[in-house]
Amino acid sequence: MPTDVKPAADIAAKWARVTPQRSADYEAGASNAGAKQNANAIAAAKAFQAAVTAGNIAQLFAGGLRRAGADKYNRKVKEVGVQRFGPGVQAAQADMASGMAPMVETIAAITPPARAPRGDTSNQQRSIVYQVALNKKRLALRAAGG
């Protein structure tokens, strides 16, 4: 005998009706779970590496994108993204400042080579100095977990 199950549309309708009322439950469960989430994510590093280097990962990735389609992306931008954009930016201000600080400090410590006349290819060295220093800093921060 087949399994008796409600239609997906009915399940989704109940989920959309009931779940928004559970924000206090979400807050209680998630607000102090950072240490556990962080430890579990670090412990999953090898599984992550195996997943993203699997032989069929490109096909799985592309297939998921095809299945979702461009219309979903466009719809979610309008229905969710626009309303969350401003508050999300405001909520991220301190994170942006602390994330940028090491790079801003790195840039501030660089004295680039003198400018050459316009069109001189040695002017490219000015940007390379910044690229090398910023990449070195990025790799150092990643290795340190910072």
Backbone phi and psi for residue 114, each to the nearest 5 degrees, phi listed first: -65, 150
User: Average pLDDT over the chain, rounded to whole?
Assistant: 94
The pLDDT of residue 144 is 73
Residues lower than pLDDT 70 in the chain: 145-146
Write a three-state SS string for 126-142. HHHHHHHHHHHHHHHHH
The pLDDT of residue 46 is 96
Query: CA gyration radius for the chain?
Result: 24
CA distances from 130 to 69, 107, 135, 138, 142 (A): 39, 7, 8, 12, 18
The pLDDT of residue 145 is 66
**DSSP secondary-structure letter at 56?**
T
The pLDDT of residue 93 is 94
CA distances from 2 to 6, 11, 38, 121, 145 (A): 12, 18, 42, 73, 51
Q: Which of 134, 138, 115 is nearest to 125 (CA)?
A: 115
Q: How far is Cα 103 from Cα 28, in angstroms, rounded to an integer? A: 35
Helices (H), 6-123: 8-18, 23-30, 34-43, 45-52, 57-76, 82-91, 93-108
